[in-house]
Amino acid sequence: GAGVSQTPSNKVTEKGKYVELRCDPISGHTALYWYRQSLGQGPEFLIYFQGTGAADDSGLPNDRFFAVRPEGSVSTLKIQRTERGDSAVYLCASSLMGQGYNEQFFGPGTRLTVL
């Protein structure tokens, strides 16, 4: 079956611009996660959805970052007024349910470059 997909695979933008990153989870997975991975580092948690609601957004670095999952499937991560420090690979993952023992399936990521 289809895995987690993310679009675009690469995004280059200028400082100050607005960007949207999309994630399509595995069908039937109720939990969806966003992580950010900087070069040479492990993925860093951003936000977690259980269904349509954000169960935990404690990892969002500031109010320029926002994510939605209006129908409990596709999610969009939105970054306003991008800064050079936002450059990273943004990873999306989904799991059957939101409990911590569930295996998370990761997408290929979106590489964001802010010039």
Question: Quick one: which H or E segment has residue 19?
Answer: strand 19-24
Per CB under 8 A, 105 contacts other proteins: yes
- C-beta of residue 63 within 8 angstroms of C-beta of residue 49: no
Question: How many Å is the Cα radius of gyration of the chain?
Answer: 13
Q: CA–CA separation, 53 vs 93, rounded Å?
A: 16
* Residues in contact with other proteins, shown as a per-residue x/- string from 14 to 43 under the rule CB under 8 A: -----------------x-x-x----xxxx
Handedness of CA 82, 85, 87, 89 (dihedral sign): negative
Q: Which of 11, 65, 104, 112 binds other proteins (CB under 8 A)?
A: 104
Contact set for other proteins, span 44-103 (CB under 8 A):
44-45, 48, 50, 55-56, 58-59, 89, 91, 93, 95, 98-103
Task: State the residues that interact with other proteins by CB under 8 A.
Answer: 31, 33, 35, 40-45, 48, 50, 55-56, 58-59, 89, 91, 93, 95, 98-109
